[in-house]
Amino acid sequence: MQTLVTLCALLPLLLSVHADVVERFEDEPECVKYFYKEKVPEWGASTPGAARLCQRFVNRYHFATLYDTNHRIAVYSAYQFQPSNGGGRESRWFVEPQLVSKSWQAEMTYSDSLGKNYPGVYLGEKQALNEDFIRSGFDRGHLNPNGHHAVPSRNATFTLTNVVPQNPKLNQNSWRIHESDLTNLFKAKCSKAFVLVGAVPSAENWIVKNNVKRVNIPDYLWNAYCCVDNNDKPIQSGAATARNTDDDKVEKLSLVELGEFLQQFSDEPVGELFYNDCRA
Ligand SMILES: *[C@@H]1O[C@H](CO)[C@@H](O)[C@H](O)[C@H]1NC(C)=O
């Protein structure tokens, strides 16, 4: 009896080790560490159809994504910056099997091979597929950028749950430059940098395929960072927003200003994006 009770108490713990979609990021220690001081923001928490993805690739976690399965784009991805160690660009695009069926593999997979293993099963009910982006006129714009990681985390950013339909001009110019400015800042000043990158969905702008609204085209992209020293004490924070249009303009903001910006899209308080607003 005692053994049974112990086993029952342990079971959720044992299962959680291999569950990639978690109820709360806090339930997975290896996943919540992508948030500064393990504080998960309130922002987006009540999004209908939200799935919490601990992004797994080659048997370990690399970052976390709050994924909106109705709009089929992320609310945000959360990660810790890593200097790149070179290496090529991943050529595959991954999908999340566990968003097709909860009993399926909890690790991102090359979509072509998954399709071959399950012929006739439609993979795109709860996530965007590579085919949605083909000839859409939009880039597969990384939220968590591949340039902020070393391999294999770099490869893991190529999951379609981490990209949004992004205006090509914005993706290839000012947003790319902003990401590279952040790389320089993080390398120069921070012992660690925690980053959130999100998208604000549009009301009625979609990539439509065969008369089906497949992938929401977000109105805005935003990001926020908390740069800390080797004692995890904040050194600097900042944020940015960009309209997802040919304007090709990134607006740099403070965390407080980003909070005000995001507030216009929600009835609930935005709350802290980082523990103690990344204040020293
Ligand atoms: C990551 O991507 C690089 C560049 O395409 C590739 O050479 C490498 O094999 C990939 N790593 C894994 C584990 O798939």
Q: What pLDDT shows up at residue 13?
A: 41
User: Which ligand 1 atom is at minimum distance from the Cα of 58?
Assistant: 13
Percent of the chain at pLDDT above 90?
84
pLDDT beyond 50 at 7: no
Report the distance separating Cα 186 and Cα 188, nearest Å: 6
Q: Are 266 and 258 a contacting pair, CB within 8 Å?
A: no
**Global confidence as pTM:** 0.92
Locate 41 and state its tokens. Answer: 């923001």
Q: What's the whole-number mean pLDDT along residues 209-236?
A: 97
Please name which of 233, 226, 242, 241 lies closest in space to residue 274, comparing C-alpha atoms.
Answer: 226
> How far, in Å, is the centroid of ligand 1 from the Cα of 87?
8
Residues in the chain: 280
pLDDT beyond 80 at 163: yes
Nearest CA owner, ligand 1 atom 2: 90
pLDDT beyond 90 at 227: yes
Nearest CA owner, ligand 1 atom 6: 90
Which residue from 92, 108, 151 has its CB within 8 A of the most atoms of ligand 1, so it is best to mutate?
151
Number of C-alpha atoms within 13 angstroms, CB side, residue 244? Answer: 25
User: Which ligand 1 atom is at minimum distance from the Cα of 88?
Assistant: 4
C-alpha R_g of the chain: 19
Q: What pLDDT shows up at residue 5?
A: 46
Q: Are 116 and 220 a contacting pair, CB within 8 Å?
A: no
Q: What is the pLDDT of residues 86-141, one digit of tens each?
A: 877 899 999 999 999 988 988 999 988 888 888 889 999 999 999 999 999 999 99
Q: What is the pLDDT of residues 178-187, one digit of tens each?
A: 999 999 999 9
Nearest CA owner, ligand 1 atom 5: 90
> How far, in Å, is the centroid of ligand 1 from the Cα of 153?
10
Report the distance separating Cα 114 and Cα 136, nearest Å: 23
**Domains, the chain, with CATH or none:** 15-278 (3.40.570.10)
Report whether the peptide linkage leading into residue 152 is cis, meaning its omega lies within 30 degrees of zero.
yes
Which of 42-51, 98-107, 122-131, 151-160 is least confident?
A: 98-107
Which of 16-20, 52-56, 91-95 is least confident?
A: 16-20
pLDDT beyond 70 at 253: yes
Q: What pLDDT shows up at residue 111?
A: 84
Q: What's the whole-number mean pLDDT along residues 12-30?
A: 68
Question: Any idea what DSSP says for residue 97?
Answer: G
> How far, in Å, is the centroid of ligand 1 from the Cα of 4?
44
Nearest CA owner, ligand 1 atom 12: 152
> How far, in Å, is the centroid of ligand 1 from the Cα of 204?
37
Higher pLDDT, 226 or 102: 226
Q: What pLDDT shows up at residue 20?
A: 58
Q: What is the pLDDT of residues 169-212, one digit of tens each?
A: 999 999 999 999 999 999 999 999 999 999 999 999 999 999 99
Q: Are 179 and 191 a contacting pair, CB within 8 Å?
A: no
Locate 173 and state its tokens. Answer: 């110019």
pLDDT, the chain, mean: 92
> How far, in Å, is the centroid of ligand 1 from the Cα of 190?
27
Pocket, ligand 1, Cβ cutoff 6 A: 58, 87-91, 151-152, 155
